[in-house]
Structure 1
């Protein structure tokens, strides 16, 4: 049996490396335990280069040329959307481990028979990422002392659903939205943006950023801007990010699927430690998800006694698998988010962490918290 992995620059991109290595670790564990139904499991990793055309070509190599039984990975939404028709044509199960666009699940819902071979093992889709930000503010704004926030969202496709949810629901939490801005993609100088945040009087910048995250947090810290900083900040999720920013990330808050010390399930910390022992570093969120995807695929294949795609689809629709990032179940074919991982407390419910003196400390949800929130000393 064979698993195909699609990862961006897995040799030197931590996100791509985590996808490839997480899947590899799962395959190694399966083979050490007798494989799937007694058959050894092979793995083939392809580099998407975060480019839609390259991603499609690599997907075709895995499915058409190599005939893998399942594919996983794909970090960028643009790559995922560019292979959706190929997934439908090849009728090979794909379990996304990175891209958040809800357009993929919308296609499953609108044309189930064609697109039913796509499942999103994680992260939660971008609408639910936004909802999780709202849920965090509703639960923790009092503890954090955030009476007002300035919403800053980078202008990329992945954030459009996040912005929509924040616009619809954030104001209902009782926290004042002092300003809201989708700033230009590729922004490097955050001085003018932060001047507006200061002028708004907001207690915190509530952010959704990935591509522009590093200059944003470094300038916030180096300029000691008088507001707090948190939300979804993808680079901040990297376990090595404190060193990479020379500590500038200290006191920053981000959503995450898991951290090496967070006991999301009883599998989370052992996986992180095994990953570190094998590869010399800890995984980012895509590593947890890719690892879970391979193990859930194997569990379903064993249960249904087949790797035929239609059998696997039926099996996954009924599956409830506890992995490293939560208990993974999928919305049904009639749901607007068909075949996306279910966002729900007790199933998959992202954490929020704060960098404190080089450590990723969980501050939400309360039952997983490893530390109390710390206000930056200059605020």
Structure 2
């Protein structure tokens, strides 16, 4: 395995929000390699006849109906890396939501169209595709974007085009700082940082600092039940993981004894590090992994290491990962937004079953989040038209206050969602307090469950309680 690219190496200033980090941050994104092997044209969901479309059409079913906006067409751009399964899930979920809206009269009668911008997991491509969708294709809204580097590089375009964007893939918290009224970074003589970047909202996932807090909550609440007294903290040396790694490095020791904290990169042989973890008597390796995630989990299982293994493992969030590892992923746990088994909300399982019926494959977390983002757009338009007594499609500046003040119901991941206010440190982010209150993220563990499928692993949820579908399992060698 290649070393981590030079532009992803960390220095003492990593994590600071400066002009260079926003305008030039990040190369092609090191998470790519961790995901690219999960589900591709050669490696679809087991049993599926489908393959990833290289050039899917931008189509609409010509729906819509009677209503105040019946003469309008609302066009939504979907920025998705189509060389990854999570990008395909974004695009398919957007088409699915479009069809359902149009089949039920559109948005106040307006027909909905979706157009694809294939970002190819490249920050530069994400930025250029955003410009193409908004300038050339005339999209009224955009959604999607995976990787913090891609989102940060696209933020100037989002600001310049003054078109509302709802993120459904990246978890980088620095974007919320740009939007916040409490931070004047990005201000110009003409506009404050908030006025420039207020067009960005994140539907999900919750950002990396909140994910770290969820990890702390999980460890603190479950360590006695699971018999965890010592933990090793392993987060890959990737820029995408830096906020998560720094928060856990700072706070985890107050929850559990942490004799080992490392940020490995470019590791092909995990044996020396695993020996160190065992010699320190660690019960659990708390991880943040993508690029080296498959090598790490294969060697953990094949060597039958004497500690449990889990945290954030990006490749393991894909249904095809069981096949990719030959079942070695069994007992690993990772955070996720939902799983094919969970019932986050009354809408979760209907969404999952409808998606499987339409596409003959299982959605990844970016799919339901993109589905929910289009629902937010729908409600935001409807609330604005009613509140302003309008008869035409509102512009972005008119809609934004209604998105900021709204409560959005009927989601597949969270039943009732709100955005953090403009004066929050991280603005226009999903409101999140704790797993106990919100039910997310779920902690998914790969398990064998013959009641669901005899020859393939199941993505069960072991926490939080309201989304739990199974007790945690441990390897037989432990």
Q: Same fold (TM over 0.5)?
A: yes
Partner of 1:324: 412
Partner of 1:117: 199
In structure 2, what is the Cα distance between the partners aligned to 1:341 and 1:102?
11
Structure 1 residues 239-258: aligned runs within 5 Å:
239-258=319-338
Structure 1 residues 257-268: aligned runs within 5 Å:
257-268=337-348
Structure 1 residues 2-81: aligned runs within 5 Å:
2-9=75-82, 12-81=83-152
Do residues 295 (structure 1) and 295 (structure 2) align? Answer: no
In structure 2, what is the Cα distance between the partners aligned to 1:32 and 1:279?
18
In structure 2, what is the Cα distance between the partners aligned to 1:188 and 1:24?
40
In structure 2, what is the Cα distance between the partners aligned to 1:41 and 1:145?
52
For residue 373 of structure 1, give the secondary structure of its aligned residue in structure 2. coil
Q: How far apart are residue 348 of structure 1 and its match?
A: 6.2
Partner of 2:213: 131
In structure 2, what is the Cα distance between the partners aligned to 1:69 and 1:302?
15
In structure 2, what is the Cα distance between the partners aligned to 1:131 and 1:260?
24
Q: How far apart are residue 309 of structure 1 and its match?
A: 0.5
In structure 2, what is the Cα distance between the partners aligned to 1:145 and 1:324?
33
For residue 211 of structure 1, give the secondary structure of its aligned residue in structure 2. coil
Cα contact 1:126–1:158 (8 A) shared by 2: no
Residue from 341, 354, 378 that aligns with 2:445:
354
Q: How far apart are residue 293 of structure 1 and its match?
A: 0.4
In structure 2, what is the Cα distance between the partners aligned to 1:282 and 1:317?
32
Q: How far apart are residue 115 of structure 1 and its match?
A: 0.4
For residue 41 of structure 1, give the secondary structure of its aligned residue in structure 2. strand
Give the TM-score taking structure 2 as reference length.
Answer: 0.77
For residue 179 of structure 2, give the secondary structure of its aligned residue in structure 1. helix
In structure 1, what is the Cα distance between the partners aligned to 2:281 and 2:173?
34
Do residues 313 (structure 1) and 400 (structure 2) align? Answer: yes
Partner of 2:264: 183
Partner of 1:229: 309
Q: How far apart are residue 347 of structure 1 and its match?
A: 3.7
In structure 1, stretches of 5+ residues that fail to align are: none
Which structure has more helix as a fraction of its residues? 1
Q: How far apart are residue 292 of structure 1 and its match?
A: 0.5
In structure 2, what is the Cα distance between the partners aligned to 1:143 and 1:254?
18
Cα contact 2:143–2:370 (8 A) shared by 1: yes
Partner of 1:156: 238
In structure 1, what is the Cα distance between the partners aligned to 2:95 and 2:270?
39
Q: How far apart are residue 34 of structure 1 and its match?
A: 0.9
Partner of 2:466: 367
Runs of 4+ with deviation above 6 angstroms? none
In structure 2, what is the Cα distance between the partners aligned to 1:298 and 1:212?
39
In structure 2, stretches of 5+ residues that fail to align are: 1-73, 184-192, 386-392, 449-456
Partner of 2:166: 95
In structure 2, what is the Cα distance between the partners aligned to 1:143 and 1:288?
32
In structure 2, what is the Cα distance between the partners aligned to 1:321 and 1:372?
31
Partner of 2:26: none
Q: Deviations over 1:256-291 (max 9, x none)?
A: 100111011111111011111111111111111111
Q: Deviations over 1:321-379 (max 9, x none)?
A: 13111132111000011001111244462110111111111111122211111111112
Q: Which protein has the larger Cα radius of gyration, Structure 1 or Structure 2? A: 2
Cα contact 2:233–2:287 (8 A) shared by 1: yes
Cα contact 2:78–2:117 (8 A) shared by 1: yes
Q: Deviations over 1:61-120 (max 9, x none)?
A: 100101101100001111100010110000000000011111111111131111000001
Cα contact 1:5–1:46 (8 A) shared by 2: yes
Do residues 201 (structure 1) and 281 (structure 2) align? Answer: yes
Give the TM-score taking structure 1 as reference length.
Answer: 0.96
RMSD: 1.2
In structure 1, what is the Cα distance between the partners aligned to 2:267 and 2:78?
32
Cα contact 1:130–1:166 (8 A) shared by 2: yes
Q: How far apart are residue 178 of structure 1 and its match?
A: 2.1
Q: How far apart are residue 214 of structure 1 and its match?
A: 1.2
Q: How far apart are residue 211 of structure 1 and its match?
A: 2.3
For residue 206 of structure 1, give the secondary structure of its aligned residue in structure 2. strand
Partner of 1:145: 227
Partner of 2:251: 169
Q: How far apart are residue 45 of structure 1 and its match?
A: 0.7
